[in-house]
Amino acid sequence: MIFAIIGVGVVVYGIFYTISTSLSDCDLQLKIYEYFGKSPRRLKGKVVFITGASSGIGEHLAYSLAKHNVKLVLAARRNEELQRVKRKCIELSNQQLEDKDVLVLVLDVTDLESHKKHFDHAVRHFGHVDILVNNAGRSQRALWENIDMKVDKQMFELNVFGVINLTRLAISHFNKTGGGHVAVVSSLAGVIGVPYSGTYTGTKYAIHGYFNSLRNEKMGKNISVSLICPGPTFTNFLQESFTEKDGVKYDKTTQPTDRRMTAQRCGDLSAIALANKLGESWMGLFPLMPFTYISVYFPIIFNTALKLVGPEIMFKLRDSKKVELTEVHVV
């Protein structure tokens, strides 16, 4: 009898979660913390190092933090774009941030040998780093069986090896300073096996494995680990996405009619996740939240439904259109 009651309770709890998230653009925990948790204001004066800060989610996370006078290290490959983001950050802080409070670093995440030089530069400039946000990365659109192994290697170098190498430098620094916080902008593709993005999904699952291991290893040692998992967002990610062929970009653009979260909303939610040191956060427009919950908590139902409707439905939810993998751009 007791097991029947527990079983019913679990089912009711799952249904409540699924229904409640249908009305939200993020998971229930993050939504609760948005209203009742700590504000990003608590990060005022902290030093946050953001990779991929020249555009998209990284850019708008920087803006969200700048509004609360957070000191920033903006890292990416494009200096002109980083300088533009820096000026905007200072403006959004109502001039509370000075030029010295926003450091620009021209950094290629795949150049592992340069990581220590750049991280040490940030530490010398500010005296320390409090939070590292690994945001740099690229997506993919490709048929699984056609993917060139060169593409697999390139994507793992960018989305995984660059992330863990920089994070190891940060963890060593946090061990010396008494603590810190590391975050990764992952993806819902790290939670669900997304079709037509085999390597990308593989890199995100690898990231979740690495950082869940890190979190458990550093439990109780004043080092926090956050996985931030956005769904489709209005950025230039489609243009820059890998395909199945080496040197070929997907080269598509998002449309105003697409169902995507704005990069600013994603940045704001990410700032809340950082302020509250949330372990894992999901975000995306309906129906992605209930879709994700069902896939995680009711996998039999999810897999049965996917067999009925076909994997193309996931592509359409993701890109707001039918599967298009034949039109690519050679660079």
What residue has token string 């340069």?
114
CB-side neighbour CA atoms (13 Å) of 12? 6
Phi, psi of 315 (to 5 degrees): -65, -40
Annotation marks residue 35 as catalytic:
no
Span 277-306, pLDDT tens digits = 999 999 999 988 998 999 999 999 999 988
Domain count, the chain: 1
319 pLDDT tier (thresholds 50, 70, 90): confident
Question: What's the mean pLDDT when you consider all of the chain?
Answer: 92
Catalytic pick among 33, 63, 200, 293: 200
329 pLDDT tier (thresholds 50, 70, 90): very low
Residues 6+ apart with CB under 8 A from 54: 74, 76, 77, 78, 81, 82, 85
Q: Annotate 217-233 with three-state secondary structure.
A: HCCCCCEEEEEEEECCE
Rounded distance, CA 46 to CA 316, Å?
40
Rounded distance, CA 62 to CA 50, Å?
8
> pTM of the full predicted structure?
0.91
Residue 217 has pLDDT above 90, yes or no: yes
Span of 59-73, 104-118, 175-189, 310-324 with lowest mean pLDDT: 310-324
pLDDT, mean of residues 128-149: 97
Residue 271 has pLDDT above 90, yes or no: yes
pLDDT the model gives residue 19: 64
- DSSP category for residue 131: E
Rg of the chain in Å (alpha carbons): 20
Span 91-115, pLDDT tens digits = 999 999 999 999 999 999 999 999 9
Smallest Cα–Cα separation from 159: which of 31, 19, 51? 51
Span 112-126, pLDDT tens digits = 999 999 999 999 999
20 pLDDT tier (thresholds 50, 70, 90): low
Rounded distance, CA 257 to CA 67, Å?
29
Residue range of the domain that includes 84: 2-330
Instruction: Name 71's bridge partners.
Output: 47
Residue 131 is part of a domain; what is its CATH number?
Answer: 3.40.50.720
pLDDT, mean of residues 141-158: 97
